[in-house]
Amino acid sequence: MAKRDYYEVLGVTKSAAADEIKKAYRKLAIKYHPDKNPDNPEAEDKFKEAAEAYEVLSNPEKKQRYDQFGHQGVGGAGGFGGGGMNMDDIFSQFGDIFGGGGGGGFGSFFGGGGGGRRTKKGTNLRVKMKLTLAEIANGVEKKIKVKRHLIADGVTFKSCSACQGSGQVKKVVNTMLGQMVSASTCGVCGGSGQIVDKKPADADARGLIVKEEVISINIPGGVAEGMQLSMSGKGNEIPGGVAGDLLIVIEEIEDKVLQRDGNNVIFDLYVSFVDAALGASIEVPTIEGKVKIKIDQGTQSGKMLRLKGKGIKDINGYTKGDQLIMVNVWTPTHLSREEKEALEALRDSENFKPDPGNSEKSFFDKMKEFF
Ligand SMILES: [Zn+2]
């Protein structure tokens, strides 16, 4: 199914202010909230869709990436990254949307026992990963060291007496919609409903230890700067809940000779005036090493050559970009007396007079053909 435009999902325009976006989301969240629409998968999808749209459009950095690159820019491609929020993520947004402490209050908004729906989730870990063009082109397996909070071996838990194990404490609050019972996260157990009973000496009060782990990640080909991959459950563990995620933010290392343009790479080739006139076989760098290419006799400056399939894998499919070689004819800037004389002798030759109208297309026509 094609992803809907986030602005369309929230029913706002691109120029909508942060406040307007928030209001639009609030309306949809209330309309499609699972407590109001039990056993209605369509409503649940709408609810998730709106939450995902809000998650992006409420974050200035993500919004900018989305405006520029669409869903791909915010990791919505190929099932990686931000796409497809789970209910925990969504409920954790609500603290921000509906005011009130940490989202717990939302469940009671409709008088339903929404609190029981939530599972606590450990915090996410975020690492930056620098990749070379070659690694991006074909994908790569990387090993990274991360320090995770893990539940210590031998730790045991008992039910929290402050909240009777529910993780939430209820209180009556006055809101603009009248008096309501608000549930908030239990301060004693932090919402997990359980507290540490016995623990080894090196664990902290929550029964956690910090452990360095080596995690291996398969980076798919075609990732781009700023994309975020997510490894579910590889973040911090939390007692009585599920582990957070490990988020990997991609950074591209700029290549010294090859320039990325989407899935294509561009190489600026300089050939001598003599090679351009007589033709030559010239070595050029590609992502996979050097290859020889043929420069035809009479090649003009600005000609583009294409090495098919020598570009970058598409992140969504099996196609691959090309390498485009832009030929620049180098005019000598220093000449010996003999060279000057030789060229002087050719100055008036008919063959040396430019005649662009004849066969050569303009630079812009060629660009149109290539992209
Ligand atoms: Zn408690």
Indicate whether 227 and 134 sit together in one domain: yes
- Taking only the tens place, the pLDDT of each residue in 225-241 is 999 999 999 999 988 78
State pTM to two decimals.
0.59
Give the pLDDT of residue 69: 78
Residue 67 CA to ligand 1 centre (angstroms) = 43
For residue 63, the domain's CATH number is 1.10.287.110
Which residues crowd ion ligand 1, with CB under 5 Å? 160, 162-163, 186, 188-189
Tell whether residue 33 is among the known ligand binding residues.
Answer: no
How sure is the predictor about 368, in pLDDT bands with cuts at 50, 70 and 90?
low
Residue 102 CA to ligand 1 centre (angstroms) = 15
Indicate whether 303 and 344 sit together in one domain: yes
CA distances from 140 to 129, 134, 221, 335 (A): 12, 9, 7, 48
Indicate whether 337 and 306 sit together in one domain: yes
Residue 185 CA to ligand 1 centre (angstroms) = 8
Domain presence at residue 44: yes
Instruction: Decide if pLDDT at 23 tops 60.
Output: yes
Tell whether residue 160 is among the known ligand binding residues.
Answer: yes
Tell whether residue 84 is among the known ligand binding residues.
Answer: no
Residue 159 CA to ligand 1 centre (angstroms) = 8
Do the bridges between strand 120-121 and strand 156-159 make them parallel or antiparallel, or are there none, so unpaired?
Answer: unpaired
Range of the domain at 286: 267-369
Task: Please give the tally of structural domains in the chain.
Answer: 4
Give the pLDDT of residue 1: 53
Domain presence at residue 167: yes
Residue 193 CA to ligand 1 centre (angstroms) = 5
- Taking only the tens place, the pLDDT of each residue in 28-69 is 888 888 777 878 888 888 888 888 898 889 888 888 888 887
Residue 125: Cβ within 10 Å count: 20
Residue 69 CA to ligand 1 centre (angstroms) = 44
For residue 330, the domain's CATH number is 2.60.260.20
Indicate whether 48 and 163 sit together in one domain: no
Give strand pairing partners of 264. Answer: 261
Indicate whether 299 and 363 sit together in one domain: yes
Give the pLDDT of residue 79: 36
Tell whether residue 262 is among the known ligand binding residues.
Answer: no
Domain presence at residue 90: no
Instruction: Decide if pLDDT at 113 tops 70.
Output: no
Residue 337 CA to ligand 1 centre (angstroms) = 92
Residue 110 CA to ligand 1 centre (angstroms) = 23
Residue 169 CA to ligand 1 centre (angstroms) = 8
Residue 293 CA to ligand 1 centre (angstroms) = 71
Domain presence at residue 22: yes
- Taking only the tens place, the pLDDT of each residue in 311-345 is 999 988 789 999 999 999 999 999 999 999 999 99
Residue 367 CA to ligand 1 centre (angstroms) = 65
Indicate whether 219 and 294 sit together in one domain: no
CA 83 to chain centre: 10
Domain presence at residue 259: no
Residue 161 CA to ligand 1 centre (angstroms) = 6
Residue 123 CA to ligand 1 centre (angstroms) = 19
Give the pLDDT of residue 137: 95
